Chain A
Amino acid sequence: AQKITQTQPGMFVQEKEAVTLDCTYDTSDPSYGLFWYKQPSSGEMIFLIYQGSYDQQNATEGRYSLNFQKARKSANLVISASQLGDSAMYFCAMREDNYAGGTSYGKLTFGQGTILTVHP
C-alpha cells in the first residue's frame, strides 16, 4: 500500500528566505508520480509541481523545486525567496500509475500536510 509521510506539522520561515518541506513515500510500484499542492485557508488545492518516478532531473516551477532522491524515497519541496502569500498548508501526494489505453490515471494518496507560516 502507498504511504506518504510529512514529518513537519508546522514550519516557520522569514520572508525572502528559502524553506524545505519534507516528504517521504513508500510504494512497491516502479512507476509513480509525486505532486505538491498548496491549500490556502480558502480550501482550494493549488497544484505546484510534479515529479515522475522515471524523471532524471529534479522538477522546477518558478520558485518551487522538488528535491527528488529516489533511493531514499524522498521528494522534498524547496520554496525559494518566500513571500507572505506562501503561508498555507502544503500537501505532498503520490499517484500510483495504472495504465489503460496509453494514459495513466489513479488516485492520489496525500500526506498529512505541513502548515507553512512566512514572517515579514
Chain B
Amino acid sequence: KAGVTQTPRYLIKTRGQQVTLSCSPISGHRSVSWYQQTPGQGLQFLFEYFSETQRNKGNFPGRFSGRQFSNSRSEMNVSTLELGDSALYLCASSPRTSAYNEQFFGPGTRLTVL
C-alpha cells in the first residue's frame, strides 16, 4: 500500500506570491491533517479535513486555507506569502476506523520564501 504522498517536495517562492501544496492520503483514508514545522515554533496544527469538510482548525491567519476533494486528496493554499511562512509542511492521513486513529505522515513539502 502506498504511503502519504506530497507534492511538490521543495518549493521556492517570493514574498507576496501564493502557493498550493498537494497531499494524497493512503488509499481508504478519509481524514487529512496539515501541520507546519519551523525551528522556532516547532510543529503546529493547521487544519483537519474529513469527507470534504474542515473539522478542526489551528491558530493561523486566514491566508492559510485548505480543501479536500471527493477522493480524499487535499490541498492547502497560502496567499500573500511572508518570510515567516518558510517551513516544512507536513500532511497526515488517518483511517478514522480504529480507536486511536493513528496519523500517518507524508515526507513533507519544504517551502522557502525569499
Contacts and interface: CB of A to CB of B under 8 A. Distances in A.
Interface residues on A, range: 20 to 34
A111 B104 CA distance: 18
Contact of B43 (A95, A103, A110): A110
B33 A112 contact: no
Contacts, number: 68
Contact of B100 (A33, A44, A109, A110): A33
Contacts of A100: 55
A47 B42 contact: no
Interface in A86-103: 91, 93, 95, 98, 100, 103
A68 interface: no
A19 interface: no
Given A33-B101, A52-B100, 4 more contacts: A33-B100, A43-B107, A44-B107, A107-B56
